[in-house]
Amino acid sequence: MSVIHWAVLVVSVFWQLHGGEAQATSTKPVSNTTEAPYAIATANDSITTSVQDMLKCKLIPTSDDIRNALADAESAKLIEYELEFENYTVNPLLEQSIRENYKANIWQKAATKHGRTLVTMNFNYDVLSLSVLSLGVEKHTVVLKDEPVGCFGELSEMDRMDNVLWLLSRDFNSESPLPTIADDDYICHQVFHTSATTSRFVDKCCSVDIDKNMACAVEFKSITLDVLLYFVLFLKIAVFLIVPYLIPCAVYMFSRGADTFRVILKSSLQKTLLVASDPGNVKFDHHWPAQALDNFDKFQEAVKIFPKGRPVKVKFSEYILSVETDRVVTENHIPVGLFACLKYRVFRCGMRKFWACVKCCNASICGVLNETFPIKWKHIGYASSGLILVTLVFPFPYWLRLVFFNVFEREELSSRSEFANRFGFNKAYELHLVQYFFPENAIFIVCYVMYAVLILLQLFFKIEPSGRYRHIVKSSFVDMHDVPIMTIIGKMIEFLLLPCRFLGCLGFIFSFIFWPIAVPICLVLFTLSCAPLLYLTYRFFVHIYRSVSSSYSKLPKNTSVYSDTTETDMLSDTEPSTKTMGCMDKALCIILPIMYLFGIWCTVFLVSECLGFGLEVLIFTLIGLIVNAGSVLKYLSILFLLVIYSYDCFNNVYLKYLSLNKAIFKDVFGRVKDDVTELTQRPSHLQENRGFKSEALTEQEKHERPDRLARRRPMHWNVNDLVLFVNKFDLHFLPVKLFYAITLIQVAGAPGPVYKSLLHAWRRFGQIIIFLGFLVMTVSIFGDIYKVSSTSQMLATLAGGIFPFMLRNFMSSKADPIELNSCTFKCKVDEVIENFKEDWPIADLPFEVDEDQSGVESCEKVDLFIQLPKSGIRSNKHVLINMGWRGKKYTLEHTEDVDVLSDARSEKIEDEVDKAKQESVEITDDANV
């Protein structure tokens, strides 16, 4: 629905609240003989028998406070009374035998059309509108007594209701012979209205006519409000069908969005490699099991002709790296801001990189009792952050809905349900299933369980070695995203035009018979194709069938040269064998994806319920802001100023670092301009994802270390000067670590560290909040003293609130602009880039055997040792996934990258250790001489 339609609907509700007539229908007698409309005639002193009975049993307030409160409540739009009796242990109004009356002790007086519309709204309209609609609504508890004592309890239920109505129509003045309420005032209370199709709780409102006779009618919601609520219901259904399309790619692809990039070296990197089942006396720097390299295609091809059992010199002329999207930045987007900081530090456990937390995070949970225990505090942090995400953050809207239900809705809904069950009525579904079934219903319990099952299956599918379940999920979601809408529409039109195509002019006549049958079929198929949830379900079953059918049940075994072979027969290039899925595998291949799909349905159902609740809150709040604009203008202006100032403070920080990021891209591109230009001039289908180094290995300074295998992270290259990535679509990426390293430069003209800029923005925003708070208190105090109108208070608030903006932009000296072209800053950038190094995951390991093998026979230590399985058959514990593998040497404490500063410290320590080793070797050689 367009914005114009929304505006029309909200204005219509505003008209209803201020001047529109609420829809009313006269109360009609039903089959129950005890139910009758109220009829109290008091004109011309003509008092009916029932009124005479009322005079025999009078209700009198025990205090005059209620009459004084009504005299002071001239501006109240709605007054709610809760009636109590001082000489009764049980309220006689709650002794109900008539099916119509509900909570007869609660009555309302609607003083205006606005109040009359509030009566017809939901019972929880005040909290749905965030208390905005409750402005002008007063609630009073009135204690009554009857004269003579005990007479009220002896009356019939209808006489009690008439007696109360008689008293309320006189504003609790029992001595008044005639009603004292105004002609546009209504006395209302809730009843249970039944019709041929529905049974629901409504309000019966009574008013006086020109002859002072009481007339009652049942009030229903305005048509405009009903349209808005039905629109919410329509949106809930639409969201239920569309939500799967909004699921992030990282969820159904079981990764955070990694892509493979190739880095071509201008000069080869030489290493020594040993491939054997037992290293013997040869020492090694790095140890990888052969199974971890099963998916490395180029490595598998190269190792087929590789000598086994002895050290060999090899050359690496290129790197194949796996680059995750969150480890690089684009030119127009940077990870700077409040939410980016919260996401990184909290939800991704970024606090482990803070220098004050590094030692604790890397410490064993057993402390000094067992310092080598593999589980560290950072692993507890990972698990805790993941648990918080799936139990608190993701379902937070639903938790909020449950809190709202239990605090504000459960008591009233339980009372209504008990009342309806007492008289044998069924509740009518209005808008929310949570209100209809309650959160502890079996339907919602199943949804909770399936959400937990979905999370567990997500984790299992991610680490499951065969990948068949991941393939089903990935393929189904990819098919859902690749639905060609225009092609489907074209096929439908082509199908509908078939009679004209084959039958010519007669086809036009035949179309009147063909189209009434074909159009509904096309619409159903179009809905199934365009509704993501339905189409996703269809594709799930298609891929499940393909996985278990006879033509797809033969799964290729791992074709690695290490699988099911021994060291002696690795050179044989045999065809990959196959193995057939067993009955248990087929059953799991059907059951687990269906459970995953059912978990998606249940989760989407809960999401749609939360969205419906959120939209209802939005609608009622907007209505409240419109009809009570005079009372909330001052606070709306303050909220507007807060939004403006917060955007100004934090957006300036973002823009400052965005300009820095663009300058970094310009500088880095200038360093590798020729290589990038040569790549981007090719057609897209001939391009590949490439990474570029600012310096070749031969151009490195003496103090720089050459590229090497990373020590802290297994199966990672520690690469120098890798500063730019370009994909096949000519998109440029910069390592996010390099961006943060340059932000640490603190010279004149540079923005400095991100955290300092954010702290400065928070300080400025805090000063603004204190100033605005003082301004609101001042305006409110003087407004109450001198009776200033709400409009004048709003203008005064805006005029005072805009003063800091004017002071900062027009009356004070502006801050020095960022100068990124200064010689000092450029030199610092050169220093950072020339010394930049980072660990990158290895996606493949292509190599060549070096022709010069001199001295390798006496080699006592190799750079990399790849251990073959001794038995020739890998066990289940050897079925490793590249993304999650950890070697024996690399315990859990060596699996995470560290901060820029901690990287520098660790590199410095390693350099000092190597230098000490070199000095000790030289001293030993001198001693031997």
For residue 314, the model assigns a pLDDT of: 92
Distance of alpha carbon 343 from the chain centroid: 12
What is the maximum alpha-carbon separation in the chain?
135
β partners of residue 746: none
For residue 701, the model assigns a pLDDT of: 61
- CB-CB contact of 665 with 739 (8 Å): no
Highest mean pLDDT among 49-58, 145-154, 559-568, 679-688: 145-154
Q: Is the bond preceding 148 in cis, omega lying within 30 degrees of 0?
A: yes
pLDDT category at 593 given cuts 50, 70, 90 is: very high
- CB-CB contact of 110 with 116 (8 Å): yes
pLDDT category at 868 given cuts 50, 70, 90 is: confident
Q: Residues of the chain with pLDDT > 90: what percent?
A: 28
How far is the CA of 584 from the CAs of 173, 550, 552, in angstroms?
Answer: 82, 15, 16
* Plot region of 504 (φ>0 → left; ψ -120 to 50 → alpha; else → beta): left
Question: Span 6-28, mean pLDDT?
Answer: 41
pLDDT tens per residue, range 466-480: 888 999 999 999 999
Average pLDDT taken over every residue of the chain: 80
Question: Span 132-139, mean pLDDT?
Answer: 90
pLDDT tens per residue, range 286-318: 989 888 888 898 999 988 888 888 899 999 999
pLDDT of 212 strictly over 60: yes
Cα(408)–Cα(414) distance, integer angstroms: 11
Using alpha carbons, select from 159, 168, 176, 165 the residue that is nearest to residue 53.
159
For residue 921, the model assigns a pLDDT of: 36
Q: Which residue has the higher pLDDT, 457 or 488?
A: 457
């955070």: which residue's tokens?
256
Highest mean pLDDT among 238-242, 901-905, 915-919: 238-242
pLDDT tens per residue, range 912-927: 545 444 444 343 334 3
For residue 887, the model assigns a pLDDT of: 35
pLDDT of 405 strictly over 90: yes
């079996």: which residue's tokens?
442
- CB-CB contact of 715 with 292 (8 Å): yes
pLDDT category at 872 given cuts 50, 70, 90 is: very low
Q: Which residue has the higher pLDDT, 906 or 501?
A: 501
pLDDT category at 871 given cuts 50, 70, 90 is: low
pLDDT category at 54 given cuts 50, 70, 90 is: low
Residue type, 754: V
pLDDT tens per residue, range 322-366: 998 888 999 998 888 777 777 777 666 767 777 778 788 888 888
pLDDT tens per residue, range 700-746: 566 567 888 988 777 899 999 899 999 988 899 999 999 999 999 98
pLDDT of 597 strictly over 90: yes
Backbone angles phi, psi at 295, to 5 degrees: -90, 5
For residue 580, the model assigns a pLDDT of: 66
- CB-CB contact of 109 with 182 (8 Å): no
Q: Which residue has the higher pLDDT, 466 or 656?
A: 656
Q: Which residue has the higher pLDDT, 521 or 578?
A: 521
Question: Span 70-83, mean pLDDT?
Answer: 89
Question: Span 878-904, mean pLDDT?
Answer: 37
pLDDT of 572 strictly over 50: no
Cα(623)–Cα(129) distance, integer angstroms: 8
pLDDT of 546 strictly over 80: yes
Question: Span 108-124, mean pLDDT?
Answer: 88
Least confident of 542-551, 590-599, 789-798: 542-551
Q: Residues of the chain with pLDDT > 70: what percent?
A: 81
Question: Span 779-807, mean pLDDT?
Answer: 87
pLDDT tens per residue, range 767-790: 999 999 999 999 989 888 888 888
Task: Supply the DSSP string of 553-615, one letter for each residue.
Answer: -EEEPP--TTTT--GGGTT--PPPPEEE--HHHHHHHHHHHHHHHHHHHHHHHHHHHHHHHHH
Cα(432)–Cα(371) distance, integer angstroms: 54
For residues 137-151, one letter each, b for 16 or more C-beta atoms within 10 angstroms of the residue's C-beta and e for the rest, the string is bbebebebebeeeee
Q: Which residue has the higher pLDDT, 330 or 568?
A: 330
pLDDT of 133 strictly over 80: yes
For residue 554, the model assigns a pLDDT of: 46
For residue 20, the model assigns a pLDDT of: 40
Cα(95)–Cα(921) distance, integer angstroms: 100
For residue 789, the model assigns a pLDDT of: 85
Least confident of 389-393, 860-864, 919-923: 919-923
Residue type, 826: K
For residue 486, the model assigns a pLDDT of: 84
- Opening angle at CA 142, ends 136 and 146, nearest 5: 150
pLDDT of 225 strictly over 90: no
Q: Which residue has the higher pLDDT, 597 or 466?
A: 597
- CB-CB contact of 734 with 665 (8 Å): yes
For residue 917, the model assigns a pLDDT of: 46
